[in-house]
A and B are shown apart, each in its own frame.
Chain A
């Protein structure tokens, strides 16, 4: 499990509007990479290109290449559905399926794909995934209750359990804690620390303390002005970004002079 991601000269468009320009970076396997930067600089847009979720928006497309273990996600004949089974995603707002129970939510990746699974395998998968997401002890007695009845933090961990139940190689997290309180945030950060053993994790965050706590490497994105494309300004080890960045804008941002 867990794979290396290489991004080469990636331009991301919404119709005619170029949202992100010229991104080149390499994400190591079994590491946590954080994307930071001011709002509207293209972090979320960029992370969505890593599992081809970007093109779900009408008129959106990508130029350049994203290689996962050398295979170009945007090569000819690549099936976005297969890409998304390899690269899972957790969204900003917890989005459990409202029609499903907690158990069915965890199994969603299996049942929605019409794959058959025996009851005992399903039970094992539910327990393993919920334990992986640090949620098992809280919900093991009410697996048949609706997932939407959980608290926000629990719902978000349920979404993480749902993402790891399909056993992806990479997990993308788009501001997973921005709708959560500090306690739930802490729970998710601990979880990221554990998940790092098995998965390649990419996380977008507005919280710089969070980036410095959980990530190994940090990428700083910035935007020159409204209507201009976002750019990757600096990409380095987290300790370097937060203590001794080489670009002035990065230093200003992480020290709170702007943004």
Chain B
């Protein structure tokens, strides 16, 4: 009797202890959703900086939605480190470089976005790589990786379904296969349409206020290019922002984006031609194709180039002079404006006169 009781006691003690890590975690997880499952959860927060204004912050997590994202298998606390007590007063902001508890099968180490984060910090968008003085306006991971694209539709559903059945020959769990497959597709196919890329980049680079703060040129000239017009129609064959500024095909990445002034930038004057010639774009472009002109100049950029030119003692051919180029285009436009006004005005009034003459003749009973 005593022995049986002792064994039972041991089992009763050991089993909870063995299960403790998972059970304990589950309890923590459970306690997150205990509050965060309520859609109304959130608060108003005051932003810092010059134009401080209250913003609404939501802390509601839709668990069904979360579980379908790439991060769906990661516990809340893997990213939200330091959230140990309620209220979560001292919790630091989420750092994407944190090691998470998922083991990377290729290295058997904890997975981390640290390399990308480091690359990003060195890029012209990052705190280290940017030459802007006021770093508060710089983008963070989330500005581009907004939640919607965590589970981006690839737009190739039929392909995906076919592929997924192949995976399922070995991997039984449909949920696993779908998440894993999307995880790969997410990186091998275009995640965003060109329209979305232009919109995303434009959300900062076409924002005058933000660009003024960063002492950067507001990109306004792109919309008048043929590339932009084709993109408007949903064409994916023409270049969007990233195809020139961070072409994957040439070994660049948006995370390592740099200013055109950097020697190894794909849009540097010396490398531009190779960027234009990439894959199926302007593969036969002549050497002059990329020289001497901007793809999407804006008035501010031209002004800047003029000042840069005057400070540069090197001889510039008139035809390569951005000020001259801008003037020529203006002259052509002015020429046609005058011509169109003259022709339309002349022909229009001639036609009206003719009509007037006919009416007058008709009244007289001439015709």
Question: Are the chains A and B members of one assembly?
Answer: no
Interfacial residues, chain A to chain B (CB-CB below 8 A): none
